[in-house]
Structure 1
Amino acid sequence: MNADHETQLRLLDLQAADTALAQLAHRRRTLPELAAIAERVKTKARLHDAVVDARTRLQDIAGEQRRMENDVETVRNRAVRDEARLQAGGLPARELASLQHEIASLARRQSTLEDELLDVMERAEEAAADLRRASAEQDAVDAEIAELEAKRDAAFAEIDAAAGQRTPQRAAVTGQLPADLLALYERGRAQTGTGAAMLRQRSCEACHIELSGSELGTVRDAPPDAVLRCENCRAILVRTAESGL
């Protein structure tokens, strides 16, 4: 394949645009904010579960506390009624003894229930503290995610703006290249990421391997419009005054 020297030099402009676009795409895929956001999202999911668990535990304990408060109130009311009967007097001795025994039993039962209620209330305080802590951590992670997303979006905008400048530059160059030369370039770029490279000081700038004696002789003997390819990486070799031939 042949192409005049000026046309071959345009391949270097095309490769520069493609390299810049590839670097921008790589940067867009590997922004540190993306990994940080993914990590925070996992943390947020864990904290969400912790919030749900704490809230459920608190609700269960609250139900238990209401039941125990009702039990205490029932025992207390029964004791008040029995005490009123006792104070009223006029009861037979056997019934009086039974009533006094019941009042004593109710007092012990009330004391036991109040101790158990105190334990439930302490557990409720612990669950409430767990809920507040998990909710606060979740809010903090949400704020971190929002900040990281803002940085990510700003970086995306910068990258997309740079790509938006390079894309028309690339289109302008491809519009000036013969179809067969462009196709050869694209094949090489699809294989290794580099379609064309300058031959600088007898080395291919794509693979950085110096041409051997026979390869160098072939390049030296080739006419200026001959399209040459690196034997190692298959990039189109573009000769310039810096080729060292």
Structure 2
Amino acid sequence: MKAEPAVQRRLLDLAEVDAELARVTHRRRTLPELAEIAEAEKVLRAKQDALTTVGTNLGDLDREVRRQETEIEQVRAREERDRVLLQGGKVGAKQLTDLEHELATLGRRRAALEDDLLELMERREAVEADAQHARVELDKAQEAMADAARRRDSALADLESTETKRTADRRLMVGRFPEPLLTLYDRVRAHKGIGASLLRSRRCGACRIELDRNAFAKVKEAAADEVVQCEECGAIMVRTGESGL
């Protein structure tokens, strides 16, 4: 295949545009923020689960506190009823003894219930402190997630801008190449990743392999307008004063 040396040299500009577009594609897939977000999602789920668990414990304790308070109120009501009967002076000796015994029993029962309630309130206070800590930790996890998402979106926007500009540049550039040369370039690039590169100091710029004596002799003997390809990677080797020919 033939192509003017100047046209071949323009392939290097096209290759640089394609390399930048490839870097954009690679960076879009490998943004560090993507890994941060994946990790932040795990942490966020763990913090949400922790808050749910402590919230469940707090709810259980609240129900137990209310049950205990209700039972204490019932005991107090019974005590008050018995005191009213005692103070009324209208009960017999046996009933009086029974009421006094019942009041003593109720007093002990209320004291035990109040001790239990105090213990429950202390446990609830500790669990409430855990809940507050869990909410703080959840807020931190949500903020970390939001921060990573903002940075990801900013990076993606920059990449999108670069891709749009370089894609437009490429559309303008490809019209300057003869169709056979562009077809060869695109075919090599599709299979090898790099369609053309500079031959510098007897080394292919695409695969970085130095040409052996026979390969170098063939390239040196080729006409200036002959399109030459690397025997190792197939990339079009653009020859300039840096090629060492």
Which residue identity lines up with residue 136 of structure 2 in the other structure? A
SS at match of 2:243: coil
Q: How far does residue 72 in structure 1 lie from its aligned partner after superposition? A: 0.4
For residue 164 of structure 2, what is the aligned residue in structure 1?
A: 164
SS at match of 1:197: strand
Q: How far does residue 90 in structure 1 lie from its aligned partner after superposition? A: 4.0
Identity of aligned residues (%): 45
Q: How far does residue 195 in structure 1 lie from its aligned partner after superposition? A: 0.9
Q: Is the 8 A contact 2:28 2:159 kept in 1?
A: yes
| Larger CA deviation: 36-45 vs 88-97 | 88-97
Deviations 1:194-236 (A, max 9, x none): 1111100110011111100110111111112221111111111
For residue 226 of structure 1, what is the aligned residue in structure 2?
A: 226
For residue 146 of structure 2, what is the aligned residue in structure 1?
A: 146
Which residue identity lines up with residue 238 of structure 1 in the other structure? V
Which residue identity lines up with residue 68 of structure 1 in the other structure? Q
Is the aligned partner of 1:97 residue 2:97? yes
TM-score, normalised on structure 1? 0.93
Q: Is the 8 A contact 2:197 2:204 kept in 1?
A: yes
CA RMSD of aligned residues (A): 1.6
Which residue identity lines up with residue 11 of structure 1 in the other structure? L
Tell me how far apart the structure 2 counterparts of residues 169 and 12 of structure 1 sit (CA, whole Å).
Answer: 14
For residue 237 of structure 1, what is the aligned residue in structure 2?
A: 237
For residue 78 of structure 2, what is the aligned residue in structure 1?
A: 78
For residue 36 of structure 1, what is the aligned residue in structure 2?
A: 36
Q: How far does residue 46 in structure 1 lie from its aligned partner after superposition? A: 1.1
For residue 212 of structure 2, what is the aligned residue in structure 1?
A: 212
Deviations 1:50-86 (A, max 9, x none): 2222222222211121111000000011011112222
Q: Is the 8 A contact 2:47 2:141 kept in 1?
A: no
Which residue identity lines up with residue 42 of structure 2 in the other structure? K
TM-score, normalised on structure 2? 0.93
Runs of 4+ in 1 over 3 A off after TM superposition: none
Deviations 1:69-108 (A, max 9, x none): 0000000110111122223234323222221111111111
For residue 126 of structure 2, what is the aligned residue in structure 1?
A: 126
Tell me how far apart the structure 2 counterparts of residues 126 and 216 of structure 1 sit (CA, whole Å).
Answer: 80
For residue 48 of structure 2, what is the aligned residue in structure 1?
A: 48
Q: How far does residue 43 in structure 1 lie from its aligned partner after superposition? A: 1.1
